[in-house]
């Protein structure tokens, strides 16, 4: 019998700011919508283990989509005319537009890295819409990544971007999964990783805004000890400023828990998911 995963893919047209974006997403499971956001420069493949997890799928409708320019989601018209720079406003509003277009009712958002940082923006601006936010490898300010070398005609973008993030993963994570994450990173379009990092390191400066989060919904911060871009201390410092927040530090894991070590990540994730009703 053929071995086929329970994960299915679709293309959704998302009207947004005068454009119609053709967005790819994958889904599995039934129940509370759990929208998973990929990290900078990659795509929804990072979430394949959670999409395939039967235990998660018993209570959650797991959905992972590719942002415009990422994975199978194509860029907007005229994308070649200007440098791509992701902004907090576009990112937050687009996540909401995607969820609303799918008709999701009070979804949970779970994102890592830039997908974690955007949870802070979502918590401030959209706490009436979401049920809970799981901010993985997130903090209020994560400088130092908007680097020209990540988009440079004389540097191989795939190899440079992927190797730049390699050390964000823990040595305890299975080498094969670390290499798989490297592989995803090697496949971003030119300037996409750097453009995402404009949000990650420049536009997302939330240091003066954490206290403005109304605290209506829980925000779960989860950070791995090998994350040198958003260290446990940076997450703890941020979480202390956010009302209704819980901070979980994960041992023996790095910046890409869902893809670099899904087994270790699940041990930390399941207690969080149990708290979400």
Partner 1 sequence: MPAFDVRWVERWQNMVNQDSVARLLGRHFSADVMLEFGPSAYVVSFERGEIRRLQHEIGAESAYQFALRAPAETWAKFVQPVPPPMYNDIIAMSHTLHGRLKIEGDVKVMWQNLRAFAWDLDLMRAVKE
Report the chain's terminal Cα–Cα distance, integer Å.
37
Binding flag, residue 11, partner 1 (CB under 8 A): no
**With the C-alpha atoms ordered 97, 100, 102, 106, is the resulting torsion angle positive or negative?**
positive
Site string for partner 1, 52-81 (x = CB under 8 A): ------------------------------
- In total, the chain counts a number of residues equal to 277
Binding flag, residue 28, partner 1 (CB under 8 A): no
Q: Which of 8, 87, 89, 166 binds partner 1 (CB under 8 A)?
A: 166
Binding flag, residue 152, partner 1 (CB under 8 A): yes
Query: What is the token pair recorded at 48?
Result: 């394949």
Q: Which of 225, 241, 243, 266 binds partner 1 (CB under 8 A)?
A: 225
Q: Which of 215, 228, 263, 275 binds partner 1 (CB under 8 A)?
A: 228
Binding flag, residue 105, partner 1 (CB under 8 A): no
Task: Using alpha carbons, select from 132, 107, 106 the residue that is nearest to residue 119.
Answer: 132
Binding flag, residue 231, partner 1 (CB under 8 A): yes
CA–CA gap between residue 263 and residue 277 (Å, rounded): 23
CA–CA gap between residue 225 and residue 253 (Å, rounded): 6
Binding part of the chain for partner 1, among 4-12, 93-101, 115-123, 225-233 by CB under 8 A, reads 225-233
Binding flag, residue 164, partner 1 (CB under 8 A): yes
Closest distance of CB 246 from partner 1, Å? 22
Contacts of 121 (CB under 8 A, 6+ apart): 88, 91, 92, 204, 206
Return the residue matching tokens 């041990």.
267
DSSP letter, residue 141 = B
32 touches 276 (CB < 8 A):
yes
Count Cα neighbours of 175 within 13 Å in the Cβ-side half-sphere: 0
Binding part of the chain for partner 1, among 47-55, 64-72, 85-93, 160-168 by CB under 8 A, reads 160-168
Closest distance of CB 254 from partner 1, Å? 8
Instruction: Give the binding-site size for partner 1 (rule: CB under 8 A).
Output: 24
Binding flag, residue 205, partner 1 (CB under 8 A): no
Binding site for partner 1 (CB under 8 A): 143-144, 149, 152, 154-156, 159-160, 162-164, 166-168, 170-172, 225-229, 231
């Amino acid at each position: 019998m053929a071995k086929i995963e329970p994960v299915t893919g679709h293309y959704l047209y998302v009207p947004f700011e005068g454009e119609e974006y053709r967005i790819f997403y994958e889904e599995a499971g039934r129940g509370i919508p759990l929208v998973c956001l990929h990290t900078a420069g990659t795509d929804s493949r990072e979430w394949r283990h959670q999409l395939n997890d039967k235990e998660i799928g018993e209570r959650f409708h797991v959905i992972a989509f590719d942002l415009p320019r990422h994975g199978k989601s194509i860029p907007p018209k005229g994308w070649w005319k200007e440098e791509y720079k992701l902004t907090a406003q576009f990112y937050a509003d687009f996540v909401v537009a995607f969820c609303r277009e799918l008709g999701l009712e009070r979804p949970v958002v779970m994102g890592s890295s830039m997908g974690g940082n955007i949870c802070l923006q979502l918590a401030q601006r959209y706490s009436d819409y979401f049920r809970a936010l799981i901010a993985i490898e997130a903090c209020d300010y994560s400088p130092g990544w908007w680097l020209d070398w990540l988009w440079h005609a004389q540097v191989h973008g795939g190899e440079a971007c992927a190797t730049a993030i390699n050390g964000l993963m823990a040595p305890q994570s299975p080498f094969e999964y670390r290499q798989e994450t490297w592989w995803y990173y090697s496949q971003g379009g030119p300037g996409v990783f750097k453009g995402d990092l404009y949000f990650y390191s420049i536009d997302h400066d939330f240091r003066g805004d954490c206290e403005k989060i109304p605290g209506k919904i829980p925000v779960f911060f989860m950070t791995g000890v090998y994350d040198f871009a958003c260290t446990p201390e940076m997450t703890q410092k941020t979480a202390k400023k956010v009302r209704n927040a819980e901070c979980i530090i994960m041992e023996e894991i790095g910046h890409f828990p869902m893809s670099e070590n899904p087994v270790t990540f699940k041990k930390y994730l399941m207690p969080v998911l149990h708290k979400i009703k």
